Amino acid sequence: MMIKKFIYKYILKRKYYRSGICNRCGACCSKIYVSHKRDVIKTEEEFLSLKKLHPFYTYLEITDKDENGLVFKCNKFDAEKRICTIHKIRPLICRRYPSEIILKMGAVMSENCGFYFTPIDSFKEILNEKMKKVNRN
Ligand code: SF4
Ligand code: SF4
């Protein structure tokens, strides 16, 4: 097994490789849903209590509400220059976006995102592993 595959699969416990680059579309900074305890925040009251938990929440402004919940934009995003004005000290969640962990928590990739994910194991490998398990039981 390749070293890269071994590290991703057994040390980082990932199922996908992340590839691509940020094209600075800004979508992930201007259409944000906030989830807490697996639920997307739906009311301003819920959000106000969250603001005390992490400084990142203090950057967010409500712009809309849709069928998922409240929609926010980050006031640290400069829409004209398409840059994060606190890039060097941006929160960890922003540094890691888009990550498999965040997607597992229910986040959805922005349509124009320059990153993409590909499975570490091929369909054949997954099938073989499943068959081994079935044969063992
Ligand atoms: S802190 Fe920067 S990277 Fe994070 S959402 Fe705001 S503008 Fe985007
Ligand atoms: S959505 Fe993807 S490409 Fe667009 S700014 Fe965010 S990370 Fe970069």
Query: Under a CB-based contact definition with an 8 Å cutoff, are residues 116 and 57 in contact?
Result: no
Could you tell me the residue range of the domain that residue 129 belongs to? 14-136
pLDDT tens string 96-133:
889 888 888 777 888 889 999 999 988 888 888 888 88
pLDDT tens string 13-56:
999 999 999 999 999 999 999 988 878 899 999 999 888 888 89
Residue 3 lies in a domain: no
Residue 2 lies in a domain: no
Residue 1 lies in a domain: no
Residue 5 lies in a domain: no
Instruction: Return the HEC string of 69-136.
Output: CEEEEECCEECCCCEECCHHHCCHHHHHCCCHHHHHCCCCCCCCCCEEEEECCCHHHHHHHHHHHHHH
Domain total in the chain: 1
Query: Under a CB-based contact definition with an 8 Å cutoff, are residues 33 and 72 in contact?
Result: yes
Residue 7 lies in a domain: no
In this prediction, residue 85 has a pLDDT band, given cuts at 50, 70 and 90, of very high
From 19, 97, 102, 103, mutation site for ligand 2 pocket: most ligand atoms within 8 A of C-beta: 97
Residue 9 lies in a domain: no
- Interatomic CA distance for residues 119 and 68, integer angstroms: 27
Ligand 2 lined by 93 (C-beta under 6 Å): no
Q: How far is CA 63 from the centre of its chain?
A: 20
Residue 4 lies in a domain: no
pLDDT at 106: 74
- Interatomic CA distance for residues 117 and 19, integer angstroms: 6
pLDDT at 39: 86
Residue 54 lies in a domain: yes
- pTM of the complete model: 0.80
